[in-house]
Amino acid sequence: ETGVTQTPRHLVMGMTNKKSLKCEQHLGHNAMYWYKQSAKKPLELMFVYSLEERVENNSVPSRFSPECPNSSHLFLHLHTLQPEDSALYLCASSPTGLNTEAFFGQGTRLTVV
């Protein structure tokens, strides 16, 4: 039990579908993140949400749309994805403040067909 739960664990979607990834954290953290892990590439920070700031990586295509209704929940809405978007999507949370580590969920393995 990591304290950060992601659903679904696996998702196969067509390029015309719309789906959402869900993340929930039970650690009392007030910052949440979406990361993408593609094969043989570093984990890539996609979005950051906290009470103080929202940071979007400008290199992330608009077909990925984050939503953070409160400090415990984070969504990633997906629409008209491409096969190259197939990857492991990881949610993380952390306290805000100096020198804190992020805690990750188990990830959603996304395959776009």
User: In the complex, what is the shortest distance from the CB of residue 49 to other proteins, in angstroms, rounded to a whole number?
Assistant: 8
- Min dist CB 15 to other proteins, Å, is 25
CB 48 within 8 A of CB 55: yes
Stretches 13-21, 30-38, 58-66, 79-87: which one binds other proteins (CB under 8 A)? 30-38
Residue 13, C-beta contacts closer than 8 angstroms, at least 6 positions apart: 19, 78, 81, 110, 111, 112, 113
Strands (E) located in 16-102: 18-25, 31-37, 44-50, 54-56, 64-70, 73-79, 87-94
Asked if residue 97 binds other proteins (CB under 8 A), the reply is: yes
Contacting residue, 76, 81, 107, 112, with other proteins by CB under 8 A:
107
Footprint of other proteins (CB under 8 A): 2, 4, 6, 31, 33, 35, 40-45, 48, 50, 52-53, 55, 90, 92, 94, 96-107
